[in-house]
Structure 1
Amino acid sequence: MRIIVADCSAVYSGRLNASLPMAKRVLMIKADQSLLIFSELGSYKPLNWMAAPCTIKEVTPESNAEDADEEAPEKVFRVAAQKSTDVLEVTVQHVYSDETYDLGEDPGLVKDGVEDHLQYYLAAQIERIGKGAKLVRREYPTPVGPVDIMAIDGNGQHVAIEIKRHGGIDGVEQLTRYVKLLNKDPLLAPVRGMFAAQTITPQARVLATERGFDCLILDYEDMKGTDDDSLRLF
């Protein structure tokens, strides 16, 4: 990873045309030849960039004697996309810092509180859906995909549970398809649906209620804190 702090301008040409006037910015050049331009203010996104696959060429411009009053650029980066005619040209006027770092192999992002974790904890604490509930299995198969959790409630009725981090209308529609198919099985019917999420939008809650589904808000931190540690030695 190469990080350059410099006064620079940029011109992007190809499928769209865009330009950045001269200003102090941060250039990030990655090992895959991608180049990204960042400013101090604004969002976390770069102002402009060229992503891989691409090639990058660093050019040291020749000074022009006729323009002695005009400061000559120190270098120019020409980045060309391999799958299109797009070109990003960055002109660097003054370099304040130019450092290269070997970051090594990145293990990737590990997310806490994702749907798989919510499914795991709810399956282990299935009575959160109601007293006397029992787990049938996680990832219960249907012809249109697996239901996150199949359970039996305290009254002996099957419950199909769809789990989302943030519950929206799409999740309710997904649960609707599962319940419709499961209710065709005489060994399971009647199957009721439950929509479980950390947050549920008002629109999704209204639709779920209209379809006869229960809604369950999952408190991930509470569920994680209730994890059974009775078999742990430390």
Structure 2
Amino acid sequence: MLTEAVIGLPDPRLRPHVDRYLGYREHSAGPLVRREAAGAFVVLILGWGAPLDVTDPRAADRGAHGTSAFLAGPFDGWCATRTAGEGAGVQVLLSAPAARRLLGLPLGELANRAVPVDRLGGWLVRLRDDLADLPDWAGRFARLDAAFAARLAVTGSVDPRLVGAWRLLDASGGALGVGALAEEVGWSRRHLAVRFRREFGLPPKTVARLLRFQRAYAVAGRTLVTAPTVAPPPRGRRGDADRGG
């Protein structure tokens, strides 16, 4: 059961890349299993305490097991999480272009997978350890700001044509057809699909379907991701982080 959820807003300079942070605590006396919906976003969990398993029913090797810190997605199908005990951490939801930039690797290597952070780079492991050692949410959110700003300073930018294609598709809520999108970018449909899938994990047609799905969920007032991959409550102020941790 989720016992605490605290919203933190990133430094304004990070807002094009990171929308918000969510600190959480939860307790479960017995196994707690949740089904997580498909999504075009990337979920970063930097947690400590009780480990969890993330499984994709379509392929066992796509999951992560016995870990409290992992990165998942984008996923074009549902997956499940299972945990028990006391856990805490910070969730960050990232768009595919933001994740591509922060991680410094093509998301084609991460699509439909959950990967423990210790397989992705030492900076994420160090960040998780730092967050666990800090005494309150305000300090943790400030540490995330510093880490993400440092990453953006050393990682290369994504091809602006691909970023532009993502923004057009996202702004349309997935309604823009691939042909129209390719015409806007000035590429063939095939070239766009290949580049888009390599850099952002899924082809534009699939992303369009997931964006329509996400919008339908939002209109219905439902959430796509649940604790410990915790869905953010309505946007709060930065001061919300001062409730302590």
TM norm structure 2: 0.22
TM norm structure 1: 0.22
Give the structure with the higher percent helix. 2
Relative contact order (C-alpha < 8 Å, sep 6+): which is higher? 2
Give the structure with the higher percent strand. 1
Pick the structure with greater CA Rg: 1
